[in-house]
């Protein structure tokens, strides 16, 4: 009995069923921790919007992140004049042609562009009496111009453009 008691077979040695179970549990806990981290980061950004009294509908936010200027940028479903519905109405073919992206891939792609892209130009523009930003981002070998990001961070429109 003593020989087996200290052999480690009941403690998850290599090749034992216990090792597989422990590894699986570890991997699951890491995945959950990463998701909590993402949610925590997003919740902090939403809290900043709330603190600044920015008007948005959380259920309609497709992504929220910060760009390299430090500004929070978020994309809501919006309508035909602004937001994701506007992008779909006016620019889905541009994304398909330039990047071979389907409509459902655009929000995730835009989030990555905003989060990881380098801001090439950042101009203040005034349209219909409201100030906003026209930003050009460099990401993954291409340039993108966001024709409108409100001073509150709301993405009005986006489309790919050539170098």
**25 & 73 share domain:** no
Q: Are residues 127 and 112 in the same domain?
A: yes
Is the predicted pLDDT of residue 57 greater than 90, yes or no?
Answer: yes
List, for residues 12-47, the tens digit of each pLDDT value.
Answer: 444 444 445 555 555 555 555 454 445 788 999 999
| Among candidate residues 42, 139, 150, 141, the one with its CA nearest the CA of residue 86 | 150
Q: Rounded CA gap, 28 and 70, in Å? A: 32
Same domain (yes/no): 47, 66: no
Return the minimum-mean-pLDDT range out of 23-27, 109-113, 137-141, 145-149.
23-27
Q: Which domain holds residue 137?
A: 54-161
Q: Are 133 and 123 spatial neighbours (Cβ–Cβ below 8 Å)?
A: yes
Cα separations in angstroms, 138 against 9, 90, 96: 54, 21, 18
- Mean pLDDT of the chain, nearest integer: 81
Does pLDDT of 4 surpass 60?
Answer: no
Percent with pLDDT over 70 in the chain: 75
- For the chain, the domain total comes to 2
Residues 42 and 61 in one domain: no
128 and 106 part of one domain: yes
Same domain, 114 and 60: yes
Whether 72 and 3 map to the same domain: the answer is no
Tell me how far apart the alpha carbons of residues 12 and 18 are, in angstroms, rounded to a whole number: 4
**pTM above 0.75?**
no
pLDDT in tens, 85-129: 999 999 999 999 988 999 999 999 999 999 999 999 899 988 888
Which of 31-35, 69-73, 74-78, 140-144 has the least mean pLDDT?
A: 31-35
């Amino acid at each position: 009995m003593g020989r087996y008691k200290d052999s480690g077979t009941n403690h998850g040695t290599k090749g034992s069923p216990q090792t597989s179970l422990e590894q699986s549990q570890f991997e699951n806990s890491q995945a959950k921790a990463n998701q909590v981290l993402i949610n925590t980061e997003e919740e902090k950004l939403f809290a900043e919007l709330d603190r600044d009294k920015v008007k948005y509908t959380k259920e309609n936010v497709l992504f929220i992140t910060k760009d390299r200027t430090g500004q929070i940028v978020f994309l809501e479903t919006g309508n035909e004049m602004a937001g994701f519905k506007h992008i779909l109405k006016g620019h889905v073919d541009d994304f398909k042609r330039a990047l071979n992206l389907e409509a459902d891939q655009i929000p995730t792609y835009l989030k990555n562009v905003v989060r990881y892209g380098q801001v090439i130009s950042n101009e203040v523009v005034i349209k219909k009496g409201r100030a906003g930003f026209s930003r050009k981002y460099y990401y993954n070998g291409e340039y993108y111009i966001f024709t409108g990001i409100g001073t509150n961070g709301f993405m009005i429109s986006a489309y790919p453009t050539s170098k």
